[in-house]
Amino acid sequence: MDEIRGRVAVVDDTLADLAVLNNLLTENGYEVFAFPGSDRLLAVIDEIPAELFLLDVNLPGINGYELCGRIRRHPVCGQVPVIFISALNEPADKVKGFAAGGVDYVAKPFHLDEVLARVATHIELYRAQCQLHHYSRSLEDLVEARTREAVLAREEGNRIKREVLANVSHEMRTPLNAIIGVLHYLRGICRDGEADEFFAEGLAAADRLMSLVNNVIKYAQSAQSDDTAVLDWQSLANEAVSAVVGKAREKGLLVSVAVDSGLPAGVTGPYTDIIWALELLLDNAIKFSEQGDITLAVEHDSVNRRAVFRVYDSGPGIPEHYRGRLFSLFEQGDGSWSRAKGGVGLGLALCRKIVSSWKGEIRLESTGPSGSVFAFSVPLGRQA
């Protein structure tokens, strides 16, 4: 059996024209569905696999333009091309046909070769369109499947990462805690003044190492947090300060908090991550301040709907040529001096990573011989 070149539905109330079109298309390898009126086609339109409609315009009842509109709105054959064949061949008639949704217009009396050429062209275009749509859907399905796989792989990777980090954290912190505990014990039972200095140095070194371990772990984990909570601004600031006030007291530094009373209440945000970032900035401020005060200010940027956190220190200031690298990993201001203070360039880099993960911004606002001001802002979430 010869391959069918296409399936065409023909609607024409002039039976002679209907017969000519039927015979022409059938003899040239097309499967034809012939109808003498619109109602006859609409009664079975769900059942015929038409790839092209040939419609007369002057049909009784529902004319060709209206029939084309119904075809266009049909859920199954709405994309099947429509060619009008009509004795109405004025430009306005053709424009009306295209406006109704037709793709071509053949004037009566028609030429058989022209009809065959137009039918073949539009069926070929329709099949290409269907194939392209099929490929598009297949590609969408493939992308969706790959995306699901990527999400699952990322979740599995994050799970493994969390397990590794937990194990590393445990393996590193456990002996460090033991060392710190032993040093505290020995310092307590030893009354020798010179030995006490050694114990103090050992404890300071162990504390710095513990801080380094904590920062490395936090840096690796910082992109994983997606927790939000209602932000109590005063409690948040106090909690951050309480984590570092002991270090400040050891250096004779006073840490104060100033919270803007205009901050909105009941707003959600990254509570834990904000405290992390504040602890890092406060720790940095204490590290490089030898005297004076440290201030944490929490303010409201109502124009941009952001919370702004500023940490004022009493340090020596930061040379201009170092300022552009402050938030890069393992970068510091004056390397030799900062290392003497126990820094390795992780704190500010981690702070930037935390803030950036919440679409926040961090910057050095000002610096000079009387101190520096570091600030970051985060967008305010919805009100609970």
To which residue do tokens 């997606």 refer?
226
* Domain extent listing, the chain: 6-110, 227-379
> Under 8 Å CB-to-CB from 258, ≥6 apart: which residues?
295, 296, 297, 298
Given this model, what pLDDT does residue 337 score? 44
Predicted TM-score (pTM) of this structure: 0.50
State the architecture of 227-379 in CATH terms.
2-Layer Sandwich (3.30)
> In 10 A of CB 9, how many CB atoms?
24
Given this model, what pLDDT does residue 344 score? 47
Q: Check pLDDT > 70 for residue 217.
A: no
Which tens digits make up the pLDDT trace of 278-328? Answer: 998 998 899 889 888 999 999 999 898 899 999 999 988 887 777 777 777
Rg of the chain, C-alpha, whole Å: 39
Which tens digits make up the pLDDT trace of 239-264? Answer: 999 988 888 998 899 999 999 999 99
Reply yes or no on domain 6-110 having CATH 3.40.50.300: no
Q: What is the mean pLDDT of residues 88-116?
A: 89
What is the share, in percent, of the chain residues with pLDDT greater than 70?
87
Which tens digits make up the pLDDT trace of 267-287? Answer: 888 888 898 889 989 988 998
Which tens digits make up the pLDDT trace of 125-152? Answer: 999 998 988 888 888 888 888 888 888 8
Q: Which two tokens stand for residue 351?
A: 């702070």
Q: What is the mean pLDDT of residues 44-68?
A: 93
Closest CA to 28 of 111, 105, 110, 112: 112
Which tens digits make up the pLDDT trace of 333-383? Answer: 444 445 445 554 567 888 888 888 888 889 998 888 888 999 999 888 766
Report the alpha-carbon distance of residue 242 to residue 232 in Å, rounded: 15
Q: Which helix (H) or strand (E) holds 194?
A: helix 193-221
